[in-house]
Amino acid sequence: MSPPKSRGPRLGRGLSALLGNETVEIPKEKTKTGINTEDKGFSVMPVEFLVQGPLQPRTNFAQEEIDALAKSIKERGILQPILVRPSPANADEYEIIAGERRWRAAQAAQLHEVPVIIRELNDEEVLEVALIENIQRADLNALEEALGYRRLIDDFDHTQDSLATVLGKSRSHIANRLRLLVLPDGVKKLLTEGTITAGHARALIGAVNSREIAAEIVKKGLNVRQVEQLIKTSKTDSQPKAPRKKEKDPDTLALERSLTDILGLNVEIDFSDSGGRVVVRYKNLDQLDDIIRRLSDGDGHVG
């Protein structure tokens, strides 16, 4: 597998690494308002200049969160600039990299302008930064996080090890998140909605009846340990039981002992209504040669 494509400065330090002095100011002549706060390291931009980024890993924005943030913004303003990049598709637009919730709340608060920091980032860096920002804020649900990891692996040749280094997560954490992607759609929906937890979902991986168990979790409010026990019991109950061996009658047992004494080797006789078999067990090749000799005719041929 080839190494990750972009080899610029790694982003494992998080979003704070992008809020230093390496910002790109909007030239005054390119803003409708003409406002440019160079001394603070960011610019002010009309909200209509900003658009959703297609690489945003977060897909669920609770309206109550937006409303609460809008109320705060009305009282205190936006405390952290929105990170954007020039849109590859439209010269008059800027894609949001980090801060879409602030942008949505700013519109709900009827702000006409928002503070922004512009960075020239490629697609891989955009996805990395968006993941870092959302993970640090605990904004992503487990499935959104897993989809972001999968995108970095599939589209940018990352490995689980390289993601662990870049994103500051353990390899086992990333592996466990990725495993959630194999769950049935119905279980994924419950996880996305927050009806079940990532711990519940992880326990359901590989369960044949995961949908039914997920319904039990919701109905009975089961914790993760109870789910694990339920799955363990379900697997035991579903395993086919070995057929009970028919007990040998005294005559067969006596014949086994007689043959064992004659050959000097352990002999077993298995039988059924339609027939059976005789098993002679030997420990080495000398014993096998002796069995063959005993079964041979006078010409030395087995027959």
- CATH number at 210 reads 1.10.10.2830
Answer yes or no: is 97 within a domain: yes
Q: How confident is the model at residue 56 (pLDDT cuts 50, 70, 90)?
A: confident
| Range with lowest mean pLDDT among 16-20, 245-249, 255-259, 270-274 | 16-20
Q: Which residues are catalytic?
A: 100
Helix axes 224-238, 210-220, angle to 10 degrees: 140
The residues that bridge with 115 in the sheet, in sequence order, are 44
Q: Is residue 123 part of a domain?
A: yes
Label residue 239 by pLDDT band (50, 70, 90): low
Domain tally, the chain: 3
The β-bridge partners of 86 are 94
Helices 142-156 and 123-136 pack at an angle, to 10 degrees, of 160
Q: What DSSP string runs through 55-79?
A: T-------HHHHHHHHHHHHHH--S
Q: What average pLDDT does the chain have?
A: 78
CB atoms within 10 A of CB 39: 6
Q: Give residue 17's pLDDT.
A: 47
Q: Is residue 245 part of a domain?
A: no
Higher pLDDT: 247 or 269? It is: 269
In a domain, residue 175? The reply is: no
Write the DSSP symbol of residue 21: S
> Do the domain assignments include residue 2?
no
Indicate whether 266 and 197 sit together in one domain: no
Give CA–CA dist 139/55, Å, rounded: 15
Tokens representing residue 160 in the block: 């689980």
What is the reported pLDDT for 1? 40
Model confidence at 102: pLDDT above 60: yes
d(CA 286, CA 64): 83
Taking the CA atoms of 166, 170, 172 and 176 in sequence, report the sign of the dihedral they define: negative
Q: Which of the pair, 40 or 187, is modelled with greater confidence?
A: 187
Indicate whether 167 belongs to any domain.
no
What pLDDT sits at residue 295?
73
Between CA 282 and CA 158 the distance in angstroms is 56
Residue 76: what pLDDT?
A: 86
* Cα Rg, the chain, nearest whole Å: 34
Residue 267 binned pLDDT confidence (cut-offs 50, 70, 90): confident
- The reported pLDDT for the residue numbered 178 is 94
Question: Looking at the structure, do residues 30 and 101 belong to the same domain, yes or no?
Answer: yes
Query: Is the confidence at residue 300, as pLDDT, over 60?
Result: no
Q: Is 288 within the bounds of a domain?
A: yes
Q: Are residues 221 and 258 in the same domain?
A: no
- 133 and 33 fall within a common domain: yes
> What pLDDT shows up at residue 136?
66
Separation between Cα atoms, residue 204 and residue 229, nearest integer Å: 11
- Is residue 171, in this structure, part of any structural domain at all? no
- Residue 223's pLDDT is 94
Summary count for the chain: helices (H), strands (E): 12, 8
Q: Are 19 and 132 in contact (CB under 8 A)?
A: no
The per-residue pLDDT for 224 is 94
Does 42 share its domain with 70?
A: yes
**Mean local confidence (pLDDT), 111-131:** 86
Mean pLDDT confidence for 126-154: 82
pTM for this model (two decimals): 0.56
Domain that holds residue 47: 15-160
- Do 25 and 110 fall within a single domain? yes
